Amino acid sequence: MAKSVVTLAHYYTTPEIQQMADKVGDSLELSLFARDAQADIIVFAGVRFMAETAKILNPNATVVLPDRGSTCSLVEQTDVAALKAWREAHPDHVHVSYINSSAQHKALSDWIVTSRNVDDIIAHLYAEGKKVIFSPDRNMGAYLNFQYGYDMPLWSAVCEVHDKFNQAALDEAFASVGGLPHALIAHPESPLPVLQQADYVGSTSGMLNWVKQYQGAANGVIFVATEDGILYNMKLARPELDIRQAPIYAGCQCNQCPYMKLNTIEAVKRAQQGEGIVIDYLSEADMDAARLPIERMLEFSSQYYR
Ligand code: 13P
Ligand code: SF4
């Protein structure tokens, strides 16, 4: 009997890849979809940590990543042995890790969060009187510390895409629209000076919803500080609006995630035949240890998002 296949795509993949997918979403939505998928094969047109999370949540499925190179700089910049030592140096803290992390990293965590639920989960932990350490995204952690007055010790990795957004290029972009009204929405992986100027900070889905519900000036310009893939979804939802990617230098709208863009049509088609990087290399011990903090997050989030 032919094997059943579902294809998942993150918003940062190209429009062509999104059109090949059964489900397009942010990290949280795709994790939930992968967990509940009934298919024999899950093709994950995203990056490796997303495919690993899918495998951890749905271990009976064959999870295929289309391209070997689809990593994430937050994963690459985190040495797991050093992370373990850092965690051990904070024995009285809860370790909250962003989902953009390896399975071994997740296994060293008490909670996993995505950009969709990080504010709520950390607020919940502080309300319980807990002390928190946050990894791996330094920018996201700095934003949370600033926004809510926390004092979380932070791991120091960054997203190489979002870290390029900067104040100077934004100032030029705002000036370039003359007297037109403008707004800025930003992903929390961006640097703090960018986030401090934003009208909205949130996940990819959160930003897309903000655009869908936008009621501001019809002649306004909306700058988006995140990877360019999601501008496709935003323009599809509100074709009448002037939506532009925030520049990283004067005049440039060119900030892409090289790892997401490895999901080419050919690679995804091959993956749908079961050819690609099969996520079959994680040890049972790592998968079991990583599943606990992910499931804690999903259980917490279910009251809000399902
Ligand atoms: P989201 O969970 O907001 O989709 O973010 C994933 C990601 O990799 C952002 O760079
Ligand atoms: Fe990782 Fe940044 Fe690419 Fe997201 S955009 S997958 S955080 S490198």
Q: Examine the pLDDT at 26 and tell me if it is beyond 80.
A: yes
Q: What is the pLDDT of residue 304?
A: 66
* Residue % of the chain over a pLDDT of 70: 99
Q: Flag whether pLDDT at 201 surpasses 90.
A: yes
Question: Residue 240 has what DSSP assignment?
Answer: T
Task: For residue 219, report the distance from its CA to the centre of ligand 1, in Å.
Answer: 29
What percent of the chain clears pLDDT 90, i.e. is strictly above it? 94
- Assess if CATH 3.40.50.10800 describes domain 162-245: yes
Structure token digits, residue 235: 């323009």
For position 175, what pLDDT does the model report? 94
Specify the pLDDT at position 15: 98
- Look up the CATH architecture of domain 5-71+260-279: 3-Layer(aba) Sandwich (3.40)
Q: What is the mean pLDDT of the chain?
A: 96
Q: For atom 5 of ligand 2, which residue has the closest CA?
A: 257
Ligand 2 centroid distance, CA of 262 (Å): 12
Q: How many other CB atoms sit within 10 Å of the CB of residue 208? A: 23
Pocket lining: 115 vs ligand 1, CB cutoff 6 Å: yes
As a whole number of Å, the CA-based R_g of the chain is 19
Mean pLDDT is lowest, of 74-78, 111-115, 199-203, 247-251, for: 247-251
**Of the listed ranges 226-235, 280-289, 295-304, the one predicted with least confidence:** 295-304
Atom 2 (ligand 2): residue with closest C-alpha? 159
CB-based contact 242:236 (threshold 8 Å): no
How many CA within 13 A on the CB side of residue 250?
A: 3
- Give the number of the ligand closest to the Cα of residue 161: 2
**Nearest ligand by distance to the CA of 27:** 1
Alpha carbons 57 and 54: distance in angstroms, whole number: 5
How far are the Cα atoms of 38, 75, 153, 297 from residue 156, in angstroms, in the given order? 38, 11, 10, 22
Q: Which of 140, 160, 204 to mutate to test the pocket of ligand 1 (most atoms within 8 A of CB)?
A: 204
- Where in the chain do CATH 3.40.50.10800 domains reside? 5-71+260-279, 162-245
Lowest-confidence region among 68-82, 135-149, 181-195, 238-252: 238-252
Overall pTM > 0.85: yes
Q: Is ligand 1 within 6 A of the CB of residue 203?
A: yes
Question: Does any ligand 1 atom lie closer than 6 A to the CB of residue 204?
Answer: yes
- pLDDT in the model for residue 1: 72
Number of helices and strands (H, E) in the chain? 14, 12
Q: What local confidence, expressed as pLDDT, does residue 198 receive?
A: 98
The predicted model gives 73-78 an average pLDDT of 98
| pLDDT reading at 121 higher than 90 | yes
- The Å distance, Cα 2 to ligand 1 centre, comes to 33
Q: How many Å apart are CA 44 and CA 55, to the nearest integer?
A: 10
Q: How confident is the model at residue 21 (pLDDT cuts 50, 70, 90)?
A: very high
Q: Which pLDDT score is estimated for 232?
A: 97
